[in-house]
Structures are given as structure tokens and as C-alpha cells.
């Protein structure tokens, strides 16, 4: 399968239109009708591109011989062709602008050292204020020497250097993720401190190749094969089109030193094995055209991504409901009207965004088949801590309560709940509610409150002193006596008659005394507790701010 993809597998027209693919290729290439492109006054270097059959070459390593400086920099020193190409990328991708304050992450390796030298070449013409940032994790014996090397390099190039050390050593378990999060926090704090605009990283074309291959190996959606972007938020990567060999040659030509991280040769790490074993093999099998083939695949993937992003969202807000669903819920009818690929994409993203769980594709297809079925109510285990719940026309994610009932199958919701108790003085009424609910209770003067009160929550009258109220959701057999009746009816029948949507019926808060339902939140109060006949001079207002499912 991988060889098919690397030989240039074309997407089906049902997935990505030919026009989208052509547009994405056009975005990567320069116009064939022009042989010269000059940067505006804000981007002072001008470039010249050599015409070849079919148009002008890309700004990449395959076109390195086609780009040369027309003139020297303002100081009279010649500016390298690689620096000019880097400047072109900085401009076209809006990574750096004239006069910017820029943080450059420098580890001491060939890629980050080359990036710093290139930015120093552009510094005068672009009026840049550069800052070097080095991270010393203290993890390796070479760490102190590398820190000293970067400090010396910054001093020789006239760039202020900032070094960061972690407050305490990271544990071995999850080291990479913890260290990455720490580096991002430190880099963004420095960017804010110097009032900078961008943090530059030295990722290059070989890193991009490895990233894409690893995504394919681990399994990713056809719309998400793309590797790193030249600009993502506060971060810029201007060397993604430049192979590591060219960066090494650039530094060698300048007699510039760098440091090699010995851990990059340790095949205990998957990325190192991909770099040392898989990439050379695939380059040989693709006659040296591996990078170009991967670019074609990622461009087609990007076309699919753009098409998916045009599809209407099936996720809706819960509106004024007290239910705490910060990420909304899925409208089943809207989801069902989407193309199959968009159904999978939107359900995957909804689950990931609301729970942090990335559903494996074969499990995602199972869930989608369940969604398309006729059953109006089910729970589906997503992970140890999360369920996907459908009731009627809505699907939402819900924290799992109680014991684990198995994996990736519909289950019966748990009814076990731990409760919180609040005593509402001065009359000693006890109100209990499930943990995670946000509830407020307070007494009010009955003379200022009547059945037409427009305040929040429900108002209960005629409550005995020291009675116990409980807040919960619907249970089988519940009955309710609305104020318009003298006898109770089945709560499920009353909800149906009053047009409660099916998906709201089992998550609507109820206020109960014993087994009797006194109020259906937020507006229906049983006749026995309706204000108007209270003789105690006060009524209890119960406000449910949020319900955690």
C-alpha cells in the first residue's frame, strides 16, 4: 500500500476534485509566465529564478542552483542563495516581517545553527531584532558543553542568548511530552517578554519526510497526512523545504561549527530507525524521488481536508439548558445528512475535542454504524473514563460512572451516584444533589414571589421544616402532579405531552421529596408545592446552574 502511495496514487474524484488538487499544486509553484520576482520594499532582497520547461522551479533543494543573489547586502557582504530563498519563504508564508523581534530556538545541532546563521545574514536588510533561546534539560553529559557553545555562538554573531533550565528534572515516564510542553511554555514566555512576533524552529525537509512516514505507520485519516506547517500560531519553520545535507553544506562552506546529538543515532527511538533504515530504503525504491511523491500525497490529503472543512457542522449548542456540555452535542439528523467521510471526520473531532480520546479508525466505523441504526438510546464505551451516549435525536459524550462494563460495545448506563448534601437554614431543609452539579438554594419572602415569578430556577412553597429534598434525573415509575391537575400522571407521559425532546428527558433535573416529584426543572412545580398557599411566610428557590452528565 505504501509503495502505491509513493508511486503517486490519485484520490478518487468522489473524495477530492481534480480542481482542488490542481489548486493545491498551484499554491506550491511559482507562475510559469514570469522569470523574475522582486520582494517589496518591506522585504528588501530581490531574487532571480531560471526558467525551465514547464515554468519556474519551486523554492526547494531541487531548485537551489536556480536561485542566486543579484547584489550584496547593505553592508557590502554577499548574501548566500540559501539566505535569499529563506527570505522568500519568510515573506510568502508571512513568517517574519521587516522590523520584527524574533526568537530563534537553537539547540546547537546543524539545523538550528544553520537557521541562526541565515537569520543573521538577513538581519541588517530586514531590520530584525534576534534573540537566541537554548534549552538545557540537564539530561545528557554533553548538555553543559552545548549550552556553552550556543552562548559563545550568540556572542560571536551579536545575538542576545537566553538559556532555560527546568526547575526540576523530568521523570523518565512521559519525558518527551513533558519536556515539549515545558519548552513551548518557556518559548512563549520569552516571546511575550521581548514583545516578539514569532518563534523560529529549525525543522527541515528530512524532518518533514520522517514525520509524514511516521503518521502513515501509526495510522491517520486520509485528510490528515500533512506534516508540519511553515507557520502555526506563534511558531515558524522556514527550512521545511531544505534538506539537511544542504544545511550541512551551507555551514561547512562558512567554516561554521555545530554539535551532533549522539541520541539521534540511538535506534531505540522509532524516529531514528525511520531516519536510518526506512527513509534510505524508500528513497532507493522511488529512484530518489521520495520527497516529491510524499508532497503529492500530502497535497491531495490537504484537498480532502479543505473539502471536509466546507461541510456544515452537525454539532449544536445545548442552548440555555442547565446541562454542562461545553462542547455541544451531535444532532443525529444533521449528521446523517452528511457524506460518509464527513460523518466520520466530524464524529472523530467531536469526541477528541470533548474528551481528549482519539478513536481508532476501525472503532470509529463501528460507532458510525451504531449511529446509523434504528436504536434511539444507547451508551458506547470510548475509553475507561468516557462514554458516547445517544438518546433520541442527540448524541453526546459523558463521563463514565460506576464499574467498567467492557470495551467498544453499547452498555446500560450506570445509576450509581455519589451525593452532596446542603442544609438550607434557618428552617433546616436538607437538599442533596449528585456531585458535579452546581446548585444554589435560598429562602425568599412569599409575598414577593408568586407562581408567575420570572426569577431563575423553581420556587417551592409549603415545605415542612427539616424536610429532605433531592435533586436527580428521571427514573422508571416517576409520577408528577402538575398544577393543572389534582391527581398525578406518569412523568414520561407528561413530558411527552408537553413536547420534551426525547434526548432531554433523562437529563432534566427534578426536585423530589422521597419518591414524589415536586418540580420539573426549570418551570413546572407540582400543585402541592406551588406558591400561593404558603403559611410560613417564605418559599425556597432552587437554582440549578449546571448538570454534569
Q: What is the CATH number of the domain that holds 394?
A: 3.30.465.60
Residue 131, domain member (yes or no): yes
pLDDT confidence of 322, banded at 50, 70, 90? low
Asked if the model's pLDDT at residue 126 lies above 70, the reply is: yes
Asked if the model's pLDDT at residue 456 lies above 90, the reply is: no
Average pLDDT over residues 13-30: 41
Residue 371, domain member (yes or no): yes
Asked whether residue 133 falls in the same domain as residue 192, the answer is yes
Task: Specify the pLDDT at position 50.
Answer: 36
Residue 529 cell numbers, joined? 408545592
Asked whether residue 332 falls in the same domain as residue 389, the answer is yes
Residue 32, domain member (yes or no): no
SS3 535: coil
pLDDT confidence of 447, banded at 50, 70, 90? low
* Bridge partners (DSSP) listed for residue 490: 479
Task: Specify the pLDDT at position 64.
Answer: 38
CA pair distance 419, 400, nearest whole angstrom: 16
pLDDT confidence of 444, banded at 50, 70, 90? confident
Q: What is the CATH number of the domain that holds 122?
A: 3.40.50.620
pLDDT confidence of 257, banded at 50, 70, 90? very high
Query: In the sheet that 438-445 helps form, which strands lie side by side, from edge to edge?
Result: 438-445, 538-546, 458-460
CA pair distance 158, 130, nearest whole angstrom: 9
Q: What is the largest CA-CA distance in the chain?
A: 97
Asked whether residue 402 falls in the same domain as residue 514, the answer is no
Asked whether residue 477 falls in the same domain as residue 368, the answer is no
Torsion angle of the four alpha carbons 92, 96, 98, 101, in this order, in degrees rounded to the nearest 10: 180
| Structural domain containing residue 478 | 419-546
Asked whether residue 302 falls in the same domain as residue 394, the answer is no
CA distances in angstroms from 368 to 275, 345, 347, 363, listed in the order given:
37, 10, 8, 9
Residue 163 cell numbers, joined? 538559556
The alpha carbon of 512 is separated from its chain's Cα centroid by a whole number of angstroms, namely 41
Asked if the model's pLDDT at residue 400 lies above 80, the reply is: no
Average pLDDT over residues 340-344: 95
Q: Domain boundary residue among 244, 278, 306?
A: 306
Asked if the model's pLDDT at residue 115 lies above 90, the reply is: yes
Asked whether residue 245 falls in the same domain as residue 266, the answer is yes
Asked if the model's pLDDT at residue 21 lies above 90, the reply is: no
Asked if the model's pLDDT at residue 364 lies above 70, the reply is: yes
pTM, whole model, 2 decimals? 0.62
Of the listed ranges 93-97, 147-151, 164-168, 399-403, the one predicted with least confidence: 399-403
Residue 378, domain member (yes or no): yes
pLDDT digits (tens, 9 = 90+) for 511-521: 998 888 989 98
Residue 55, domain member (yes or no): no
Of the listed ranges 8-17, 134-143, 333-342, 393-402, the one predicted with least confidence: 8-17
Asked whether residue 452 falls in the same domain as residue 378, the answer is no
Burial 386-400 (b: 16+ CB within 10 A, else e): bbbbbbebbbbbbeb
The alpha carbon of 187 is separated from its chain's Cα centroid by a whole number of angstroms, namely 19
Burial 125-151 (b: 16+ CB within 10 A, else e): bbebebbbbbbbeeeeeeeeebbebbe
Asked whether residue 321 falls in the same domain as residue 301, the answer is no
Asked whether residue 128 falls in the same domain as residue 265, the answer is yes
Asked if the model's pLDDT at residue 40 lies above 60, the reply is: no
Task: Specify the pLDDT at position 391.
Answer: 85
Residue 410 cell numbers, joined? 453499547
Q: Domain boundary residue among 383, 411, 439?
A: 411
Q: Give the residue among 370, 536, 347, 359 at the shortest CA–CA distance from 447.
A: 536
Asked whether residue 6 falls in the same domain as residue 145, the answer is yes
CA pair distance 379, 377, nearest whole angstrom: 7
Q: Domain boundary residue among 306, 331, 363?
A: 306
Task: Specify the pLDDT at position 504.
Answer: 80
Asked if the model's pLDDT at residue 51 lies above 60, the reply is: no
Phi, psi of 129 (to 5 degrees): -110, 105
Task: Specify the pLDDT at position 68.
Answer: 39
pLDDT digits (tens, 9 = 90+) for 474-493: 888 999 998 888 888 999 89
Asked whether residue 434 falls in the same domain as residue 396, the answer is no
How does DSSP assign 176-202, residue by residue? HHHHHHHHHHHHHHHHHHTT-SEEE--
Pairing of strands 55-56, 67-69: unpaired
Number of folded domains that form the chain: 3
Residue 47, domain member (yes or no): no
Residue 126, domain member (yes or no): yes
To 5 degrees, how large is the angle CA 130–CA 131–CA 137?
150
3-state SS, one letter per residue, for 404-465? CCCCCCEECCCCCCCEEEEEECCCCEEEEEECCCEEEEEEEEHHHCCCCCCCCCEEECCCCC
Helices (DSSP H) in 65-196: which residue ranges?
Answer: 81-92, 110-126, 143-157, 175-193
Asked whether residue 347 falls in the same domain as residue 254, the answer is no
Amino acid at each position: 500500500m505504501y509503495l502505491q502511495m509513493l508511486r503517486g496514487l490519485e484520490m478518487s474524484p468522489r473524495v477530492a476534485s481534480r480542481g482542488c488538487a490542481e489548486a493545491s499544486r498551484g499554491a506550491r509553484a511559482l507562475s510559469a509566465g514570469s522569470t523574475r520576482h522582486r520582494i517589496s520594499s518591506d522585504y528588501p532582497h530581490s531574487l532571480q529564478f531560471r526558467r525551465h520547461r514547464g515554468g519556474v522551479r519551486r523554492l526547494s533543494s531541487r531548485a537551489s542552483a536556480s536561485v542566486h543573489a543579484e547584489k550584496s547586502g547593505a553592508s557590502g557582504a554577499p548574501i548566500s542563495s540559501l539566505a535569499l530563498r529563506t527570505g522568500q519563504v519568510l515573506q510568502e508564508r508571512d513568517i517574519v516581517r521587516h522590523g520584527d523581534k524574533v526568537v530563534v530556538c537553537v539547540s546547537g545541532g546543524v539545523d538550528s545553527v544553520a537557521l541562526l546563521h541565515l537569520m543573521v545574514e538577513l538581519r541588517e536588510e530586514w531590520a530584525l531584532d534576534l534573540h537566541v533561546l537554548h534549552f538545557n534539560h540537564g539530561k545528557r553529559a554533553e548538555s553543559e558543553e552545548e549550552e556553552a557553545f550556543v552562548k559563545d555562538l550568540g556572542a560571536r554573531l551579536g545575538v542576545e542568548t537566553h538559556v532555560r533550565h527546568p526547575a526540576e528534572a523530568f521523570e523518565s515516564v512521559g519525558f518527551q511530552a513533558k519536556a515539549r510542553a515545558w519548552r513551548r511554555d518557556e518559548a512563549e514566555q520569552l516571546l511575550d517578554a521581548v514583545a516578539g512576533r514569532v518563534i523560529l524552529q529549525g525543522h527541515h525537509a528530512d524532518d518533514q519526510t520522517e514525520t509524514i512516514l511516521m503518521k502513515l505507520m501509526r495510522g491517520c485519516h486520509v485528510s490528515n497526512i500533512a506534516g508540519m506547517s511553515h507557520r502555526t500560531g506563534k511558531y515558524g519553520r522556514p527550512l521545511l523545504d531544505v534538506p539537511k545535507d544542504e544545511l550541512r553544506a551551507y555551514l561547512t562552506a562558512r567554516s561554521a561549527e555545530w554539535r551532533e546529538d549522539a541520541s539521534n543515532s540511538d535506534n531505540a527511538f522509532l524516529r531514528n530507525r525511520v531516519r536510518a533504515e526506512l527513509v534510505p530504503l524508500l528513497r532507493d525504491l522511488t529512484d530518489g524521488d521520495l520527497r516529491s511523491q510524499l508532497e503529492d500525497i500530502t497535497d491531495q490529503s490537504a484537498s480532502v481536508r479543505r473539502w471536509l472543512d466546507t461541510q456544515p457542522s452537525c454539532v449544536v449548542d445545548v442552548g440555555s439548558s442547565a446541562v454542562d456540555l461545553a462542547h455541544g452535542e451531535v444532532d443525529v439528523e444533521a449528521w446523517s445528512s452528511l457524506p460518509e467521510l464527513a460523518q466520520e471526520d466530524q464524529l472523530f473531532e467531536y469526541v477528541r475535542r470533548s474528551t481528549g480520546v482519539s478513536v481508532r479508525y476501525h472503532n470509529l466505523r463501528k460507532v458510525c454504524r451504531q449511529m446509523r441504526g434504528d436504536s434511539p438510546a444507547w451508551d458506547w464505551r470510548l475509553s475507561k473514563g468516557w462514554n458516547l451516549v445517544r438518546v433520541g435525536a442527540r448524541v453526546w459524550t459523558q463521563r463514565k460512572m460506576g464499574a467498567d462494563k467492557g470495551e467498544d460495545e453499547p452498555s446500560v448506563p450506570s445509576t450509581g451516584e455519589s451525593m452532596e448534601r446542603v442544609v438550607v437554614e434557618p428552617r433546616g431543609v436538607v437538599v442533596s444533589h449528585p456531585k458535579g452539579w452546581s446548585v444554589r438554594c435560598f429562602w425568599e419572602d412569599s409575598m414577593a414571589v408568586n407562581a408567575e415569578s420570572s426569577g431563575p430556577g423553581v420556587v417551592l412553597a409549603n415545605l415542612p421544616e427539616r424536610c429532605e429534598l433531592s435533586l436527580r434525573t428521571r427514573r422508571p415509575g416517576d409520577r408528577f402532579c402538575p398544577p393543572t391537575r389534582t391527581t398525578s400522571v406518569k412523568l414520561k407521559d407528561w413530558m411527552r405531552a408537553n413536547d420534551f425532546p426525547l434526548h432531554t428527558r433523562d437529563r432534566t433535573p427534578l426536585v423530589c421529596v422521597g419518591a414524589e416529584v415536586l418540580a420539573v426543572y426549570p418551570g413546572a412545580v407540582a400543585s402541592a408545592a406551588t406558591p400561593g398557599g404558603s403559611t410560613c411566610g417564605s418559599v425556597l428557590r432552587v437554582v440549578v446552574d449546571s448538570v454534569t452528565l
